[in-house]
Amino acid sequence: MSMAASDARGAASEPAFVQQPEKYWDRLFAPGGHAAMITTVDGEGRVNAASYATCVRIVHKPVQIAFTTSQAGDTGRNVAETGQFVVNLPSFERDILEKVRIVGLPFARGVNELEKAGLTALPSTLVKAPRIAECHRHFECEVVWTKEWLNRMMVVGNVVAASVRADCVDHKGYIVWERIKPVAFCGAPYVNMFAAGYETMAVGLPYDGPEAQAADQSVRRMFEDM
Ligand SMILES: Cc1cc2nc3c(=O)[nH]c(=O)nc-3n(C[C@H](O)[C@H](O)[C@H](O)COP(=O)(O)O)c2cc1C
């Protein structure tokens, strides 16, 4: 469909842009990152889970995942105490997303949010925090660095192990999109809305300069052993 709008006489006109006031910037940047539930344990081994929309894979090799949390929250404190966390990715299904909302409630320190939400803890393979059985994908992580600013804390972790439901990937590890059903949280201003992220499209590269070939080779080199 053309980007151009039509005026009253049917002639094509350019779409207008409207400036947004600062109070709408947050909602304009929708959706956020992949919806995630991050599990941690505290120094005594008590399980904690919290929901996140700021979770993003930020490095391909080694695979590193970042998220931001509040400095005062249990996740941040547990990450600082143990240096570990697990990223559990839910699918675009109402039942699990309702549980994501429960896990995101401000339960007191020491409360196991998985039990509150009726989710099942599955022991991890390398880290102390459990995986969540109802999530199709899990990334066990060890902290690389954290940074505190404002009242926030950014956490970057190295993935040290990853698992996926067997019927959700092909033999080369590519995900089966319509089974995994990736989902983003629309953002706090949207309160209870999630966006499906599994409509995919392969697109051409209508540019034949040397940069196109160089980019292609660089991607091939990065993944040539895979
Ligand atoms: C869908 C969803 C996404 C959320 N995303 C974030 C986020 O990216 N960062 C954050 O600090 N809190 C986020 N929250 C809120 C936290 O989950 C919530 O504050 C939680 O109580 C923190 O738990 P903790 O104290 O156990 O770490 C989100 C909540 C929901 C329901």
Q: Return the residue matching tokens 């391909």.
A: 60
Percent helix, percent strand, percent coil in the chain, to nearest 5: 25, 35, 40
Rounded distance, CA 198 to CA 33, Å?
A: 14
Q: Which of 38, 51, 150 to mutate to test the pocket of ligand 1 (most atoms within 8 A of CB)?
A: 51
Rounded distance, CA 182 to CA 18, Å?
A: 31
State residue 7's pLDDT score: 54
pLDDT in tens, 61-95: 999 999 999 999 999 999 999 999 999 999 999 99
pLDDT in tens, 159-204: 999 999 999 999 999 999 999 999 999 999 999 999 999 999 999 9
pLDDT at 3 over 80: no
Rounded distance, CA 179 to CA 175, Å?
A: 8
Q: Which of 37, 41, 69 to mutate to test the pocket of ligand 1 (most atoms within 8 A of CB)?
A: 69
- Domain boundary assignment for the chain: 24-201
| Higher per-residue pLDDT: 8 or 57 | 57
Report yes or no on whether pTM surpasses 0.75: yes
Confidence of residue 222 (pLDDT cuts 50, 70, 90): confident
Rounded distance, CA 107 to CA 187, Å?
A: 20
Residue nearest to atom 13 of ligand 1 (CA): 52
Task: Please say whether the beta carbons of 183 and 194 come within 8 A.
Answer: yes
Q: What is the mean pLDDT of residues 18-31?
A: 96
Confidence of residue 2 (pLDDT cuts 50, 70, 90): very low
Fold of domain 24-201: Pnp Oxidase; Chain A (2.30.110)
Residue 77: partners with Cβ closer than 8 Å, 6 or more residues away: 42, 109
Helix (H) or strand (E) holding 154: strand 152-164
Report the separation in Å between the CA atom of 157 and the middle of ligand 1, taken as the mean of its atom positions. Answer: 18
Task: Please say whether the beta carbons of 119 and 133 come within 8 A.
Answer: yes
